[in-house]
């Protein structure tokens, strides 16, 4: 994947564990994409009212994942407190979004996929936090 | 300001204190703008190396402020935990960016202004957190 | 407003007309805020299906306005072609969003406000394009 | 990749060619990641001044790619004019960023990779525009 090549070509060594950083960046990227698409797929469903909360949480999760992806990607002059705060917010957003998507997973395949992607992102964020000590 | 009018026209009453929500959204918007501009102004200075950390923290702060602004703006089916996590991350980013900008405030007017805007955003985020209980 | 102070403190003179740049940045910021809020207010309305297209166009318009705001704000090593392309895309998004919001302006005050803000942003983007020659 | 699964699970058929949409979304995602990382890697290099324009264009390209990725991902109530305008702006940003990165490709591996990713994104955007007719 491109992000691993980019980080390996970076003039400064990766702050923390390279695998954990790459895993978090890729998971945030995937999760932002899934949440943007899930909110949009919800909006295209016939029975909209039960999906309003899902749309809302997917929009929030996409916004946090995109911000977190950018912050974790950056390796120059990192502030560990800022990285940690962003990744922790991402865990909370992914967890809330996953729970809501799971409620619709039986009826909507896009919610089922999105819940799984949120779960992987939550895990990857948690792994990065652990690796940061 | 537009955002107050928009929230007053919203079909659902604002979650939490309207003034605190409006204050946070406006402060995040101002802070994202100042940080985007400060990173760019740093990049245009002749003596770049001492400003590298300032650029980095301004980019991070702009990303978090933009995400937080969107999340706090939304009032439909809010998840208090997600809102709180985003606002808390914003406080951390604003504080780190303010401290770094203050170090350059004497030499660079854009850093002086940006530090003041970060400080106001940190305060507005704190006020919202207090109002959320 | 902060952005004018920031641009006046920038080490490099503003590419193009300062008033036009400030006007465009402020209008994009206002429009992104209004569109984010209008999409969310739509989502909180009881009769959702007629508002689906409004939500979609508001989400798109907010994303383009946020990207355009950042690009127009930056003054170091600007590429006129990139700035122009972003501002032109912003005009198209604002125009489409305004038209859709106007269709609901009679029933929803948030759509009426949002349409007016989109219209101002379209105008400010057009003014910047003219000033760029 | 997740985005293909998400679009196949969408209640509405993809506007235009599914392969072209998936290709564009994946390329924009990859390009935003590469540009965010390249700007940051530039910032970590010792000899910064020659890389200022590269940083600037990478930041712009990342912002446009992220907005375009979200807009092209959405399939509910699409406005072809808005989609086209965003994708066209993305082509311009990728082309400018690729040209600048190529100038540094010999000395900086991250610029070489980023140039290649920008080139692929430009191609994927062009393919989508062709498929839209």
Q: Looking at residue C3, what is its pLDDT?
A: 96
pLDDT over 80 (residue B46):
yes
Residues 59-98 of A with CB under 8 A from D: 62, 66, 69-70, 73-77
Residues of chain A contacting residue B63, judged by C-beta atoms under 8 Å apart:
66-67, 70-71
Using CA coordinates, name the residue in chain A closest to D26: A33
Mean residue pLDDT across chain D: 97
Q: Specify the pTM.
A: 0.98
Q: What phi and psi, each to the nearest 5 degrees, are found at residue B72?
A: -70, -30
C54 vs B: CB within 8 A: no
pLDDT per residue as tens digits for the range A73-121? 999 999 999 999 999 999 999 999 999 999 999 999 999 999 999 999 9
Handedness of CA C12, C13, C14, C15 (dihedral sign): negative
Q: Report the share of chain C in percent with pLDDT over 90.
A: 94
The angle at the Cα of D99, spanning C25 to C62, to the nearest 5 degrees, equals 25
Between chains, do C43 and A49 touch, taking CB under 8 Å as contact? Answer: no
pLDDT over 90 (residue B78):
yes
pLDDT over 90 (residue B117):
yes
Q: Residue D131 burial (CB < 10 Å; 0-12/13-18/19+)? A: middle
Using CA coordinates, name the residue in chain B closest to A60: B71
B102 vs C: CB within 8 A: no
Q: Looking at residue D8, what is its pLDDT?
A: 96
Band (pLDDT 50/70/90 cuts) for residue D1 is low
Q: Looking at residue D14, what is its pLDDT?
A: 85
pLDDT per residue as tens digits for the range B12-23? 988 779 999 999
pLDDT over 70 (residue B1):
no
Q: Looking at residue C133, what is its pLDDT?
A: 85
Token pair for B77: 């089916």
Band (pLDDT 50/70/90 cuts) for residue D133 is confident
Q: Is A76 helix (H, G, I), strand (E, B) or coil?
A: coil
The closest alpha carbon to D31, from A3, A4, B39, C81, belongs to A3
Q: Looking at residue A89, what is its pLDDT?
A: 98
The closest alpha carbon to C60, from C81, C80, C38, belongs to C38
CB C131 within 8 A of CB C17: yes
Using CA coordinates, name the residue in chain C closest to A49: C48
B10 vs A: CB within 8 A: no
Task: Mutate one of D58, D71, D87 to test the C interface: name it (highest C CB count within 10 A).
Answer: D71
Read out DSSP for A1-60?
-HHHHHHHTSSSPPSS-HHHHHHHHHHHHHHHHHHHHHHHHHHTSS--GGGHHHHHHHHH
Q: Looking at residue A16, what is its pLDDT?
A: 79
C2 vs B: CB within 8 A: yes
Mean residue pLDDT across chain C: 97
pLDDT over 90 (residue C1):
no
Rounded to a whole number of angstroms, the distance from the CA of A82 to the nearest CA of chain B is 5
pLDDT per residue as tens digits for the range C75-118? 999 999 999 999 999 999 999 999 999 999 999 999 999 999 99
């Amino acid at each position: 994947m491109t992000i691993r090549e980019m980080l390996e070509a970076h003039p400064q060594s990766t702050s923390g564990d390279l695998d954990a950083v790459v895993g978090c960046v890729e998971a945030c990227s995937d999760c932002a994409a899934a949440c943007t698409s899930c909110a949009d797929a919800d909006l295209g469903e016939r029975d909209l009212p039960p999906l309003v909360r899902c749309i809302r949480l997917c929009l929030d999760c996409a916004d946090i994942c995109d911000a977190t992806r950018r912050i974790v990607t950056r390796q120059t002059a990192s502030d560990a407190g800022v990285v940690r705060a962003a990744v922790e917010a991402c865990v909370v957003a992914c967890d809330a979004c996953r729970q809501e998507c799971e409620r619709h997973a039986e009826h909507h395949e896009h919610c089922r996929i999105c819940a799984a992607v949120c779960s992987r992102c939550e895990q990857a964020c948690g792994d990065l936090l652990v690796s940061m000590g």
